[in-house]
Amino acid sequence: MKPLSLGKIPINLLKSTVLELTGAPSDKIATPPLAGLDFAAVRVDGRYMIVSSDPVTGVVEEIGRYAVNVSANDVATSGGRPQFAESVILLPRGADATLVKKIASQMDDEAKKLQISIVGGHTEVTPGLSHPVVMVTAFGFVDQYVSSKDAREGDTIMLTKTAGLEGTAVLTGDKRFLDGISVVEEAVTAFRTGGVHAMHDCTEGGVLGAAFEMSLASGIGFELEERRVPVASETRELCRRLPADPLKLIGSGALLLSVEPGKEEKVQKTLAPICRATAVGKFTKSGRILVRRGGGRERLRAAPEDELWRVLGLPSWSSQRL
């Protein structure tokens, strides 16, 4: 049997295994596991608990910062703030107390910035690891929410900030990009406009991966225009040299929004004090199309493989450069 590639497993395999084997049923589950969703929602005393877990596996430096933010971002795509978190820190042989304190301090700093309370978890030295792996489960409680399965045909696709933020931070070590990795404020603020039907953090697979997963979860199509997607000059130059596609580069810190037609300007103006928001396409009845700058139309039949994993597998890169 062919070994799996680095990164997320193929969606068809996910559907036939992980998403089919989910333990005991419960009538308290409001949003069950589904390919393309950022979180689950569980009914608790008339409210909803929004919960999401994520590992950080591809970075070494600032791993604690990444870990808190990626899970907090997923919860925030509901429109609500993450309030609590648990962590699992797995350390390689040879790790010492200095490394433990470094990771824990990074997590503490980020959690304080986001007003998240870390309420527990597990930390151990694990055989077989070459570098630390950190997993965070973030959760919070809301009265109402949206999810990535709520995008509607005809909605405008809007993107906050720029494509490939996280990948640029990882591959260049430029902390300016890491400083913009949270989407909590923009997600909560966008939700309050009342014009946003769905949101998805641009994690693995970048902007294109987020659009694919939103369309998959919602059962509709999309048309994304490459020329409209904002890309920072540093990201564009990095991708030119590699080469890599910035639209497929992991992009935590950028948020994809499904916006009701006619509400685009309101969303832009409301988000302006926090970040830019750009219309980059639309959700359609069917088909997943990327319109390239030259006018060519690419049909996506599978979720894109993230460029970060491909680049890290090249002989010219090593874990020391992370």
Distant-in-sequence, close-in-space partners of 45: CB < 8 Å, separation ≥ 6: none
Contact status, residue 127 vs residue 90, Cβ threshold 8 Å: no
Residue 71 in contact with residue 55, Cβ under 8 Å? Answer: no
Q: Which fold has domain 148-312?
A: Phosphoribosyl-aminoimidazole Synthetase; Chain A, domain 2 (3.90.650)
- What is the per-residue pLDDT for 60? 86
Rg of the Cα trace of the chain? 19
The closest alpha carbon to 158, from 204, 189, 180, 181, belongs to 189
pLDDT digits (tens, 9 = 90+) for 245-269: 999 999 999 999 999 999 999 999 9
Provide the 8-state DSSP code for 227.
G
Token pair of 267 as six digits: 């969303």
Q: What is residue 322's predicted lDDT score, i.e. its pLDDT?
A: 34
d(C-alpha 30, C-alpha 47), whole Å: 10
CA torsion sign for 284, 53, 66, 131 is negative
Please tell me which residue, 112 or 174, carries the higher pLDDT value.
Answer: 112
Model confidence at 317: pLDDT above 80: no
Omega prior to 10 cis, within 30 of 0: no
pLDDT of 313 above 90: no
Are 200 and 38 within 8 A, CB to CB?
A: yes
pLDDT digits (tens, 9 = 90+) for 185-229: 999 999 999 999 999 999 999 999 999 999 999 999 999 999 999
Q: What pTM was computed for the model?
A: 0.94
pLDDT for 65-79, tens place per residue? 999 999 999 999 999
The predicted pLDDT at position 108 comes to: 98
For 12, the 3-state DSSP assignment is helix
| Predicted pLDDT of residue 315 | 55
Fold of 37-142: 60s Ribosomal Protein L30; Chain: A; (3.30.1330)
When pLDDT is cut at 50, 70 and 90, the band that residue 321 belongs to is very low
HSE value, Cβ hemisphere, 13 Å, CA-based, for 75? 29
Q: Which residue has the higher pLDDT, 314 or 170?
A: 170
Look at 152-161, 173-182, 234-243, 269-278 and tell me which has the smallest mean pLDDT. Answer: 173-182
pLDDT band of residue 236 (cuts 50, 70, 90) is very high
Per-residue pLDDT tens digits for 40-63: 999 999 999 999 999 998 788 899
Rounded to an integer, the average pLDDT of 118-123 is: 98
pLDDT at 9 over 50: yes
SS3 state of residue 17: coil
Cα-based distances in Å from 119 to 50, 84, 137, 141, 184: 16, 7, 10, 15, 20
Q: Where in the chain is the domain with CATH 3.30.1330.10?
A: 37-142
DSSP assignments along 133-195, one per residue? EEEEEEEEEES----GGG--TTPEEEEES-TTHHHHHHHH--HHHHTT---HHHHHHHHHTS-
Kindly report, as residue ranges, where domains of CATH 3.90.650.10 are found in the chain.
148-312
Q: What is the mean pLDDT of residues 152-173?
A: 95
What would the DSSP string read from start to end of 36-86? T-S-EEEEETTEEEEEEEEEE-S--TTHHHHHHHHHHHHHHTTTS---EEE
